[in-house]
Structure 1
Amino acid sequence: MDKAAPSKDSKKLEVDGHCDLSDAPVNLEALRDKNRAALRDIFRKIDSGTGESKAFILEQELVGLLGQIVEVDFLKNQGIEKFFFLSGEGLEIPSELSCVVFFIRFDLRNVRVLAKQVKMLRARNRSLWVIAIPRLPFVCERVLEEEQVIEDIQVLGLELYLIPYESDVLSMQVCTSYRDWMVEGDPSILYDVASGLMKLQMQCGIIPHIKGKGVASRQVANMLVQMRYQMPPEAFFRDLPEITQLVLLDRVVDPVTPLLTMLTYEGLIDEFFGIHDGCVKLSSEMVLTEQQIKTQTQQGVELPKKIKIMLNNQDAIFSEIRDLNFSRVGKLLSQKAKLIDEYYKKRHSSQTTHSLKSYVQQFSDYQKKHKYLHVHTNMVEKLLTWIRDSKFHAQLEAEQNLLAKDGNSELSISYLEDCICQREPLPRILRLLCLLSLCTGGLKEKTYNFFVKEIIQTYGIEHLFTLNNLGKMGLLCKYGETKPANWFSNARQMFNLIITDPDEQEPPDMASIYSGYSPLSAKIVMKACSDLDEKSASEDGLPDCGNDVITENWKSAKNNFIQNMPGGPTFCLNQKLDPSTMLAISERKQQEDRPHTVFVFFIGGITFAEISALRWIKKHRKINMIIGTTNFVNGNTLIECSFEKI
């Protein structure tokens, strides 16, 4: 339901669908349990003040995040009887529910909506509580004071930072993180990132080595050192550290990759359907079988317009195909269909008790696979109709032309002009315009002024703010404003980003993910991990215990080039550990030959295709890798966060 026109009725909350964390490189199940326990403690504080049945009002954008922590039954066990979405309209809350709990991530866009709701509810003699994620910011507190509602509510902070979305993926789900930092200049997201990483260290041990690139990443590293000295040593995990290295990367270090059209299966689902909090909403016809639709129609049951489908490792078929180039997916689904069909045929040939028992034991598993296969087959067919469209091919050709060493930017400029004349969606146009700017070292003055004029005349004067914001975000600039101007062409050569005629069926390189382009961000991460097996020792031959001093030295052959790339400083930090711990780490490595565990964190968002590239590195480098991010992005969402609501 659109937030601009919410219903006043109570909602049926859909928050179920956890991923399986049993095979995570570190104990992420404990992290989820701690998040759940923190929410339970909040409700205990509320119950000690009221002990009444509750109405629960939450932001619609937080439903998916909540679903990664708890189930609906958990919330009902806390005394919640009715659910509502936060809006500026009056809500029809039953009079017997004298306790109202708000669940909100505060910002200047929603604090006044909350104030309006409080004014409507306080006259009804209700106890009003606000669960603030992760806390109530000072500026929002001042707004509540100005609205004269601060005395009517009791605010409890809930420190939710890193939320497991997969056994190897954590997200904070702060969808405005890139804009908040780059446009608004709000550093609170950096404090939240540091706080989340500190909580992870308290559980998994102090991470010995930290590398990163970017202004934001450097500030986060500084905060980690400061936070650590403010806490007692016993607050941290006392066993050997579970994570070997942390790699921090600002989104602005590689602004090119998220603007490109993703070509993995999961990436295309996000491009066309949209993946939100680990799920996709599909039409009933794509999810239900013909027999199910017929039965419900005969029974007079109205089919839902959209059905939520979880996309995580609980779906065995999706887990296998999510990271593949889309060209490989159809063949694999056909193989799965054949295997499932062969299994069902066994029921006719099973004559012994043993064979019947084996068939029955696998029946539930194959039923699930059959259901998932039906959904994925329908999604693939729908995606095929989209990617076979001439507009999709024209967009893809324009992107690849800009990436190529001998690409002709004039062809892309001509294509952009045609798109504007046809009033194509503005995010599509701005994606390519920003890509043109980044790949050519900035737009010429004449070209820049031409497109500014065309966009304002076609899409409205308000997008003058959009273009200005894109400049602040490091996505759109004039020639000469970025130093060095030819940084991308140098990176393309230095990192061998482009491979002509990649083998998408048997991919030898991560470039197959983008049909010939290797994500620059993934290449930088690979270089950061290149010296993991080098023994770090001090001058006396003992293990280097670190000194908590941040330096600008990466032990990498391409360090000088990475250092001089736009996006901010390159840095390295060896956190100080006691000698016995470092010696134990060294001995464990020699005795057990354990693979290293690397935690890669993107500040400002990561695409699903980049996650696929990092999984490729994990597989071929034979290391364990956990991927963290402030939020998930694609080209459209990255561009749309620059829009101003006027």
Structure 2
Amino acid sequence: MTVPAPDGALLRETTRYELIALLDSVSGRKTLALQPALAALLDLVADRALLKEHGVEDIVYLSEKDPLSHDGHAVVYLCRPEQAVMQLLARHVHERARVVARPGRGAAAAAAAAGLRVVGVVPRFTEACKATLTELGVIRDLAVHELHMDLFRMEADCWSMERPDFFQRLYVDEDVGGLFDVAQALVKIQTIYGLVPKILYKGLFAREVAQRVVKMSRSLQKPYDDPLSGNAHFPLDSAFDSMIILDRSVDMVTPLVTQLTYEGLLDAHYGIHCGAIKVHGLDPPSGSAAARPAPPPRPPATSGSAGPSPGTTPAHGGYRTSQAAMLPKPKHVPLNADDRLYGQLRDMNFTAVAHVLNQIAKRIQENYDKRHAAKTVSELKAFVGTLGGLQAQSQSLTVHTHLAEQVMRRTTSVAFQRALEQQQHLLSGIHIDDVMLFVHELIGRQAPLDQVLRFLCLVSLVDHSIRPKAYEQLHHRIVLAYGYQHIVTLRALWRVGLFRSTDALPFVATTYNAYSRFGDTVTAHVGAAADAEASVGPPTTIQDLLAAPRRSPVPVGDRPQFKELRRRFALIVDEVDEANPADISYVFSGYAPLSIRLVQAAFTATPPKADPAGGLLGAAAAEGSVVAAAAGMAVGVVGAAATGVNNLVSGVSGGGSSARPRFVGQCAVPHIAAAEDAAAATAGSHGDAAADGREGAAAASDSTAAARRSQSRLSDVADPSWDACRDDVDLAPGPKCGELAQACPGLELTQSCARPKRTLVVFVGGATWTELSALRLLNTQERMMAASPARLGGLAAVLQPEIVRQFTAVTTGMINSETMLRAFMPPSERGGLGEHGHP
């Protein structure tokens, strides 16, 4: 049995088949009642025409109003396994029972009015939900099915569970039930694409998922299966030879760092949800991809929310929104590789986007101008044949020109540039005092709270230099400026280990003096909420975490290991070429995400050993490139072919005074000599930072060389393993790394060394768009190596050019600093951040 191409197409078809099977289980016409959070996900599986073909007459939001019509149409619910939703379903049943029981109804009329209710629970029907329906006495009135819409194909190389609340449930609520869903999704992948022989994991939750995957896979295998005919549940062959499972707690720094790719900045500015964004002020020509009807706005993702107020009725594919929506509706812009221009721009550092847009605009203009050279009928016919493609390119260019201009207004602002400068200092380990002053300045002018917390968490994770007195002062100022309800926020951050002082005291003991200033009521409330809190180490098993829920799942010792990790994994790289990147650090203009470095280390015979701890982001020789690009950016808007091509529209100038710092790759980078002087000046209070700055300046070239060597050696190890760098990998937060093996009868008989090697990279807790861009760079470099080994160095010449490593990302959802920090806030505060988040 040959496995299908691992592009996720069959994964989508499998999910679609399950949905159709659920709909076909109900004969006749039916109403589909959607929980609002699932509306956008349904778009990824089926369109309106397919639903109508299978009897769906109407689609409504799940709300207090009973969706069952008076003529007895059946209703099919699609919902999450949440207690509030189960209670809502019970109210629907009880309300209909009162209607049916009215005097004077005949038996036939009563049966018709009762109707049929089918519930599809996504992704599984939990025991807690079953107990709730049983207790409410409606379990027999509902036909409950599990609908395994647990994994969605976002791109050929990116599959997501699209669970934006997964991080909150796992790290804040300490609900580990979602780990079963992750394991179930990975087993589902294996049933389609074959067993994965080798699984590497790092992190507490990653280990639990890996163990569950192996256990669940073994339970599906039968000992009497014929090794030559395949397994009853798994294909004989396997499309993936390895799987790397990473816990989000292994690398908490990367989600807090400002994303600098085009896709990452779009996510920060608009918020990408289910592969699309909503844009105001965009009016593309009719017929374009961006002009298609938009799905209804997604309501706030609050736990237990069953839906919006009654009266909001979506018609899937052409939604009917509330009558009160009189304001201009935002345009629904899908972001995926179907748009070839977006596929070209998405992974670029934003500094290179303007040049590409300019070049494409010129190319489209030249193609339109070819109509003037057409003299014969055949030449005119050939031009008309290309007209449709030119119009599609023009419309796509219009959309992305608008988006780039909006993002540029953000990135060229003084606030964004200053924040990037302080972030660069922090990651490089220099000017920490200036960073803390910047944080106090943000609090003083009441900047969005998530921006303040982002810097505090970075200081705590990267430098670990917040003394108890400063910690108490920061608590006091934050609660005074943003409200005492954020005591809950600060305590949640402490429990996870994102914001702590240099001591190891319990949260209440550390902040008692700060809370005592707010009076006895607040102090007593906090004390009662954490009276059993103790200073204990992190749990080493899931059982430990459940037994002591106040423990931090993130190991936070007396001194975090980021400085050592920065040195050993070359996380700071000098001389970054954002236009033609050779290292994954380009996604942050000099900072390489630790998570992707761990992936590289698994396929590298000798891990990079460099000392870039104080290295500076970007290349000093390229300083000023962002300001120059912003001032001279020309982005074109090409109109319809009937009216010709409009002139290029110049971008927004981002000029600044000469006193402002020089910028490289969207990040303020002073000269190396200036960095050394600044680090030496702060040696009294930050000796480590000064040493890091001096060592980083001396080893800048070494860090760049090490990063390039790690790229060129990526395919040295065909069999992934961390054995060569186990001590380095174990420095990352969490329990020690490990690996598991899965054996399937006959699998070794079909292994082919000549085919591409594929690895699943699983992110438990969410992934950032920049991490996906970094993985795609590894894919690109592997293809280059296969085509021309000499291009990546002499070492590649001795490799087998047919062995190409390809990576596919699987994540519980997409995450950025805003969504990550919002998870720690009280539910009433999670929607009260800035309009577009933070820089």
TM range (shorter): 0.7 to 0.9
Q: Residue 564 of structure 1 corresponds to which residue in structure 2?
A: 731
Cα distance in 2 for partners of 1:367, 1:479 equals 60
- Residue pair 1:218, 1:569 contacting (<8 A) in 2 also: no
Residue 487 of structure 1 pairs with residue 487 of structure 2: no
1:312–1:150 Cα change, 3 Å: same
Computing the radius of gyration over CA atoms, which structure comes out larger, 1 or 2? 2
Residues 457-606 of structure 1: pairs in structure 2 closer than 5 A: 457-481=480-504, 482-483=556-557, 485-530=559-604, 534=717, 554-578=721-745, 581-582=747-748, 584-585=750-751, 588-589=752-753, 592=754, 594-606=755-767
Query: Offset at 1:97?
Result: 5.8
- Residue pair 1:286, 1:378 contacting (<8 A) in 2 also: no
Q: Residue 254 of structure 1 corresponds to which residue in structure 2?
A: 251
- Amino acid in structure 2 at the alignment position of 1:105: R
Query: Offset at 1:321?
Result: 0.6
- Residue pair 2:157, 2:809 contacting (<8 A) in 1 also: yes
Q: Residue 296 of structure 1 corresponds to which residue in structure 2?
A: none
Residues 290-305 of structure 1: pairs in structure 2 closer than 5 A: 304-305=328-329
1:81 match: secondary structure: strand
- Residue pair 1:25, 1:625 contacting (<8 A) in 2 also: no
1:625 match: secondary structure: strand
Query: Offset at 1:92?
Result: 7.2
Query: Offset at 1:410?
Result: 1.9
Query: Offset at 1:41?
Result: 0.8
- Gap runs ≥5 in structure 1: 1-23, 294-301, 537-552
1:414–1:554 Cα change, 3 Å: same
Cα distance in 2 for partners of 1:446, 1:109 equals 43
1:150 to 139, 142, 153: 139
Q: CA-to-partner distance for each residue in 1:256-301, whole Å, 9 max, x for gaps?
A: 0001111100000000111010001012435458x9x9xxxxxxxx
Q: CA-to-partner distance for each residue in 1:405-455, whole Å, 9 max, x for gaps?
A: 3x2222222112121222222222212211111112363222222222222
Residue 205 of structure 1 pairs with residue 228 of structure 2: no
1:235 match: secondary structure: coil
1:462 match: secondary structure: helix
Q: Residue 280 of structure 1 corresponds to which residue in structure 2?
A: 277
Residue 645 of structure 1 pairs with residue 827 of structure 2: yes
2:770 match: secondary structure: helix
Query: Offset at 1:142?
Result: 2.7
- Amino acid in structure 2 at the alignment position of 1:434: C
Q: CA-to-partner distance for each residue in 1:498-543, whole Å, 9 max, x for gaps?
A: 123522223222211111111111101111233665477xxxxxxx
- Residue pair 2:443, 2:452 contacting (<8 A) in 1 also: yes
1:315 to 318, 335, 339: 339
1:120–1:349 Cα change, 3 Å: farther
Q: CA-to-partner distance for each residue in 1:142-188, whole Å, 9 max, x for gaps?
A: 33344444343221110122210001100011112122222323222
1:364–1:461 Cα change, 3 Å: same
1:360 to 376, 380, 384: 384
- Residue pair 2:348, 2:579 contacting (<8 A) in 1 also: no
Q: Residue 408 of structure 1 corresponds to which residue in structure 2?
A: 431
Q: Residue 378 of structure 1 corresponds to which residue in structure 2?
A: 402
Cα distance in 2 for partners of 1:442, 1:199 equals 45
Q: Residue 82 of structure 2 corresponds to which residue in structure 1?
A: 107
1:345–1:403 Cα change, 3 Å: same
Q: CA-to-partner distance for each residue in 1:360-379, whole Å, 9 max, x for gaps?
A: 33222221111110000011
Residue 76 of structure 1 pairs with residue 52 of structure 2: yes
1:163 to 136, 152, 163: 152
Residue 434 of structure 1 pairs with residue 457 of structure 2: yes
Query: Offset at 1:331?
Result: 0.7
Cα distance in 1 for partners of 2:87, 2:269 equals 33
- Residue pair 2:6, 2:239 contacting (<8 A) in 1 also: yes
- Residue pair 1:281, 1:308 contacting (<8 A) in 2 also: yes
Q: CA-to-partner distance for each residue in 1:16-51, whole Å, 9 max, x for gaps?
A: xxxxxxxx951521111111111111112222xxx3
Cα distance in 1 for partners of 2:207, 2:600 equals 19
Residue 630 of structure 1 pairs with residue 653 of structure 2: no
Query: Offset at 1:581?
Result: 3.3
Cα distance in 1 for partners of 2:465, 2:125 equals 40
Query: Offset at 1:554?
Result: 3.9
Note the aligned Cα RMSD (angstroms). 2.4
Query: Offset at 1:488?
Result: 0.6
- Residue pair 2:283, 2:331 contacting (<8 A) in 1 also: no
1:40 to 15, 20, 24: 20
- Residue pair 1:498, 1:511 contacting (<8 A) in 2 also: yes
Query: Which runs of at least 4 in structure 1 moved beyond 6 Å after TM superposition?
Result: none
Residue 271 of structure 1 pairs with residue 268 of structure 2: yes
1:334–1:117 Cα change, 3 Å: farther
- Amino acid in structure 2 at the alignment position of 1:330: A
Q: Residue 548 of structure 1 corresponds to which residue in structure 2?
A: none
Cα distance in 2 for partners of 1:65, 1:442 equals 43
Q: Residue 172 of structure 1 corresponds to which residue in structure 2?
A: 161
Query: Offset at 1:209?
Result: 1.3
- Amino acid in structure 2 at the alignment position of 1:519: P
- Amino acid in structure 2 at the alignment position of 1:141: K
Cα distance in 2 for partners of 1:497, 1:504 equals 16
Cα distance in 1 for partners of 2:92, 2:436 equals 49
Query: Offset at 1:583?
Result: 5.0
Q: Residue 226 of structure 1 corresponds to which residue in structure 2?
A: 215
After superposing the two structures, state which structure 1 stretch, 309-318 or 202-211, moved more.
202-211
2:590 match: secondary structure: coil
- Residue pair 1:253, 1:568 contacting (<8 A) in 2 also: no
- Amino acid in structure 1 at the alignment position of 2:6: V
Q: Residue 133 of structure 1 corresponds to which residue in structure 2?
A: 122
1:420–1:108 Cα change, 3 Å: farther
2:827 match: secondary structure: coil
1:123–1:359 Cα change, 3 Å: farther
| Count of paired positions | 585
Query: Offset at 1:484?
Result: 6.0
Cα distance in 2 for partners of 1:92, 1:151 equals 19
Query: Offset at 1:322?
Result: 0.3
Cα distance in 1 for partners of 2:253, 2:588 equals 12
- Residue pair 1:32, 1:163 contacting (<8 A) in 2 also: yes
- Amino acid in structure 2 at the alignment position of 1:310: P
Cα distance in 2 for partners of 1:34, 1:515 equals 40
Cα distance in 2 for partners of 1:432, 1:185 equals 24
Q: Residue 542 of structure 1 corresponds to which residue in structure 2?
A: none
Cα distance in 1 for partners of 2:173, 2:377 equals 69
- Residue pair 1:25, 1:597 contacting (<8 A) in 2 also: no
Q: CA-to-partner distance for each residue in 1:74-123, whole Å, 9 max, x for gaps?
A: 11222222222233x43676534632222111234544444445544554
- Residue pair 2:179, 2:209 contacting (<8 A) in 1 also: yes
2:26 match: secondary structure: helix
- Residue pair 2:722, 2:729 contacting (<8 A) in 1 also: no
- Residue pair 2:191, 2:233 contacting (<8 A) in 1 also: yes
Q: CA-to-partner distance for each residue in 1:311-341, whole Å, 9 max, x for gaps?
A: 0011000000100000100110011111111
Q: Residue 187 of structure 1 corresponds to which residue in structure 2?
A: 176
Residues 609-628 of structure 1: pairs in structure 2 closer than 5 A: 609-622=770-783, 623-628=805-810
- Amino acid in structure 2 at the alignment position of 1:158: L
1:417 match: secondary structure: helix
Query: Offset at 1:390?
Result: 1.4
Query: Offset at 1:602?
Result: 0.2
